[in-house]
Structure 1
Amino acid sequence: MRRIGRTVVSAVLAVAVVGGTAGWASGERQGVVSGPPPGAAAWRGDSVAGRPLPDPETAAPAEVARFFAGLGEEASEVLVGRHPLVVGNLDGAPLPLRYEANRIAVAATGEPRYASLAAPDRQILAFDPRGRGQVAEVFGDLGRAAHVAVVVPGSDNDATHHDAPRRRPYTGPAGMARALRAAAGPDVAVVAWTGYTTPVGVGLDAADGRLAEAAAPRLARFTAGLDAVGAPDPVLLCHSYGSVVCGLAAHDTDASDLVALGSPGMRAATAAGLRTGARVWAARGPSDWIADVPNVRFAGLGHGADPTSAAFGARPVPADDVQGHTGYFAPGTRSLTAFAAIAKGDTR
C-alpha cells in the first residue's frame, strides 16, 4: 500500500510540474556525491612542518582555520601544491589558498568544459569534478565584505553548466549571484554555491528529499567555514529545490536571513518549524509554474507547506513583476531590489 501511495503522489507531482513547464522531461535518479573531496586519503597520510593534517571529513572548519593560522606561508603553499583538491574544498582554510588550489585543480582536469573556471580573475571557492561536478564561486571581496549572501540553486545545476551560455544571463547560480552583486553594491560579496548533487529534470529526485537531506549538512558546513574565516553571517537565497536544502539546513546554519524563492516547500509546516534564528522570507512570481506543484507531503514525497502562504509565516518579498520560474534576479525587478536590501541588512 505504501508503494502504491508513493507512486500516486509522484505521478501527481510530476504531472503538475510537467504541465506547468510545458513538457519538461522527467529526470533520472542521481547518485549522491558526498564525503571528503578526492585525494583525502593521500592528505590523511601526509604531514607538513612535522604536523599531522586536519581530517577533511571530521575536522570542524574552526579547527581547520586554527591549523592554517599556525602554518607559515611556505608550508601552506606546499599543501596547495601537493593536495589542491583537498585544500580547495577545505572549509575553514584561508580564502586565497582555496582560490589558488582550485585554479590548479580545475586546470589539472584538462577538460575544456571547466577551462574558464581556471582564469586568474575567477574566485573559485570549491570545485569537485566527481559526477556532474560541484562548484562555488565568489563575486566580490569575501575577505573584506561587510555583508555576505549565498545563492543556493535548485535542479539542473552543476559544475558542467556553471559557465554555460544562457539566454537570460541572470539565471543559473552564477548569473543570479552576479545580478545580486550588481544590485547590492561593493560592500556585499555573493557566493554562487552549487555544492551538492541537484536533481535533473522532474522526477522522484525533485519530488522527494533524498538529495536535499544529503546536501543540508554540506551547506551547514560551508556556512561554518565562512564563519571560521571571519566572514559575516550570510543571507541564504534559496531557489526552487534549493529552498528544500535550506529548509533542512536552517537549524544548523548561522544565517541572518533565509529567503525562499520559487519554492516547492521547505519540509516544514511553518517558518517557526525551521527552528532558526534567521529571519525567513518568501517570494513567488505570478507566472511561476511552481504554484502548480501540490504543497503536500505523503510517503516521503512532496515538500510541504507553501512558504508564501500566510499560514507559513514568512515575511513576503514583492515579486509581482517576476516572469516565470527563473526571473527573480532580473535587473529592475522588485524582487531583486528586495534581495539586495536583505543582503545589506537594509530592511525594517
Structure 2
Amino acid sequence: MRRYARSLITIALAITTVTGTAGWASGNTQQAVTGPPPGTAAWRADRVLDRRLPDPERSTPAEVSVFFRGLTADQQQTLATRHPLVVGNLDGVPVRLRYRANALSLRADHDPRYARLAAPGRQILAFDPRGRGQVAEVFGNLDTARHVAVVVPGSDIDAGTFDRTNDVYGTPAGMAKSLHARTGPGSAVVAWAGYTTPVGLGIDAATGSLAEAGADRLTRFADGLAADGVPEPAVFCHSYGSVVCGLAASRLRARDLVVLGSPGMRADDVADLHTDARVWAAKDATDWIDDVPNVEVAGLGHGPDPAAPEFGARHVPADDARGHTGYF
C-alpha cells in the first residue's frame, strides 16, 4: 500500500512538470501541426515548368535540393511567387529563395500577430501560419558561416510570441540574437520555432507527444540545412525544447547538443541518446525547473536531469544566469 501511495505521488508530481518559458500557468491541450506545408495540393497540381514538382510530403530534403539546383534563377522565382508557403517551408530549398518566399507570404498575411515578422531585412527561413504559427529566422549569413547554431525553444512559443518585447531572452529570437552577438562574424544562428509547443502547465508539458512531432520536424530541418551545404550545427535546446532534442538526438545532424534548463530528455543518460554529438548541459541555481521532479512514470515526466553529473553531459557553468530564461 505504501509503495502504491508513493507511485501516485510520483505521478502527481510528474503532472506538475512545467517545461515552458512562461512559468506556472494553466495549460491547454494542443494539436501538433504536422505534414507537408500549406498549399501543397496546388503545388502538386502545378505543371508550370512542364514537369512534376518534388512532393513536399515524400521527397527528402536532399532530393528537393537537387531539383532546385537544376532550375534557372527565373524558374526558382516563378515557383516562389506562385507557391510562397510551400517554397518558404520546404526543407532543401536554397536559403535565400526561402527568405524571398516567406517575405511574400508575410506581406500577403494580414494577421497583426505577424506584422513584426514582415519588417524589411528579416531573414525568415520558415513561416507556417497554421495553428498558432511556426517561424524560423536566421541571424548572420548562412551562405558563408563557418559556425552555425540552431536554438530550439520550449513552451508557450509560437509565431505571435517568437520575438515578444517582454522577457526578450525567453524568446527564440532573443536567444538567437544574443548568441550571434557573442559569436560574431563567421557565424550564423537560427531561431527555430518550427513545432507546436505546449501552452502553460498541462498534460502536453508533462508528456512527449508534442516533442515527438517536433523531433521529426527538427531532424528534417537539419537535413535541409545539410542539403544546402550549411555546416553541421550546434543545437541549443531550452526547456521543453530539450525534450524535442532528446527524442531527435539519434537521427539529428548536430555537432553539439547544448541543453539548458531541461526537465529531462527522455533518456537515462548520454549513452541512451545514441548520438555522436557532444552533449552539454547547464541549469542555474535560481531556475524554477530545478523544482520539477526528474521522473518518468506512465509517460508522464521526462526522466533524469541532464545537468546531473551521473547523466554524463559536459558541464556548462551557469552561475551568472538568473531564472529559467537567463541563460542567454
TM-score range, shorter chain: over 0.9
Aligned to 1:114: 114
Task: Assess if the C-alpha contact under 8 Å between 1:6 and 1:301 holds in 2.
Answer: no
Q: CA–CA distance in 2 between the matches of 1:207 and 1:281? A: 23
1:128 equivalent to 2:128? Answer yes
1:221-232 matched pairs, under 5 angstroms: 221-232=220-231
1:6/1:218 CA distance change after superposition, 3 Å: farther
* CA RMSD of superposed structures (Å): 2.0
Residues in 2 aligned to 1:204 and 1:266: alpha-carbon distance in whole angstroms: 17
Q: CA deviation at 1:10?
A: 5.2
Taking the TM superposition and a 5 Å limit, the aligned residue runs for 1:49-198 are 49-166=49-166, 168-198=167-197
Report the CA distance shift for 1:321/1:244 in structure 2 as closer, same or farther (over 3 A).
Answer: same
Letter of the 1:104 counterpart: L
Query: What is the identity, as a one-letter code, of the residue corresponding to 2:130?
Result: R
Asked whether the equivalents of residues 22 and 156 of structure 2 are also in contact (C-alpha less than 8 Å), the reply is no
Q: Give a deviation string over 1:7-58, Cα, whole Å, max 9, x none.
A: 855532354759xx99822201111111111100111111342221001111
Higher relative contact order (CA 8 A, sep 6+): 2
Aligned to 1:328: 327
**Amino acid in the other structure paired with 2:325:** T
Q: 1:231 to 1:23 in 2, by over 3 A?
A: closer
Counterpart Cα distance in 2 of 1:306 and 1:104: 43
Shift in CA distance, 222/15, structure 1 to aligned 2, threshold 3 Å? closer
Q: For residues 160-197 of structure 1, give each alpha carbon's deviation from its aligned partner in whole angstroms, at most 9, with x where no partner exists.
A: 1113221x433310000000000111111000000000
Contact 1:127–1:136, Cα closer than 8 Å, also in 2: yes
Match status 1:256 vs 2:284: no
Consecutive unaligned residues of structure 1, counting only runs of 5 or more, are 330-348
Q: Secondary structure at the match of 1:236?
A: strand
Matches within 5 A, 1:8-19: 9=10, 11-15=12-16, 17=18
CA contact (8 A) 1:6 1:300 kept: no
CA distance in structure 2 between the aligned counterparts of 1:22 and 1:235, rounded to whole angstroms: 25
2:187 is matched by which residue type in structure 1?
V
Separation in structure 2 between the aligned mates of residue 119 and residue 37 of structure 1, nearest angstrom: 23
- 1:310-331 residue CA offsets vs partner (Å, 9 max, x unmatched): 11100000001210000000xx
Preserved CA contact (<8 Å) 1:308 1:316: yes
User: Does the CA contact (< 8 Å) of 2:133 and 2:160 recur in 1?
Assistant: yes
TM-score (norm 1): 0.89
Corresponding residue for residue 200 of structure 2? 201
Structure 2 alignment gaps of length 5 or more:
none
Instruction: Report the equivalent of 1:288.
Output: 287
Instruction: Name the CA shift for 1:217/1:15 in 2 (closer, same or farther; >3 Å).
Output: closer
Quote the residue 1:276 is aligned against.
275
Question: Residues 9 and 44 from structure 1, CA distance in 2 versus in 1: closer, same or farther, beyond 3 angstroms?
Answer: farther
SS of the residue corresponding to residue 268 of structure 1 reads coil
CA drift of 1:88 comes to 0.1
- Whichever residue aligns with residue 197 of structure 2, its letter is T
Report the more deviating stretch, 227-236 or 44-53. 44-53
Cα contact 1:5–1:299 (8 A) shared by 2: no
Q: Report what 2:298 is aligned to.
A: 299
TM-score, normalised by the number of residues in structure 2: 0.95
Change (3 A) 1:59 1:16: closer
Letter in 2 for 1:263: S
- 1:266 maps to 265
Determine what percentage of the aligned residue pairs are the same residue: 63
Q: Against the structure 1 CA distance between its residues 201 and 6, is the aligned structure 2 distance closer, same or farther, given a 3 Å change threshold?
A: farther
Q: Which moved more, 1:138-147 or 1:116-125?
A: 116-125
What is the distance in 2 between the residues matched to 1:7 and 1:137? 43
Cα deviation, 1:87-126, whole Å, max 9, x if unaligned, reads 0001010111100100111111111221221222000000
Q: Number of matched residues?
A: 324
CA distance in 2 between counterparts of 1:207 and 1:14 reads: 6
| CA gap 1:106/1:151 in 2 versus in 1, 3 angstroms | same
Change (3 A) 1:23 1:124: closer
Q: Which secondary structure does the structure 2 equivalent of 1:323 belong to?
A: coil
Distance 1:242 1:5, change over 3 A: farther
Flag the 1:83–1:7 CA change in 2: closer, same or farther, 3 A. Answer: farther
The AA in structure 1 aligned to 2:312 is G
User: What letter matches 1:296 in structure 2?
Assistant: V
1:218, CA displacement in angstroms? Answer: 0.4
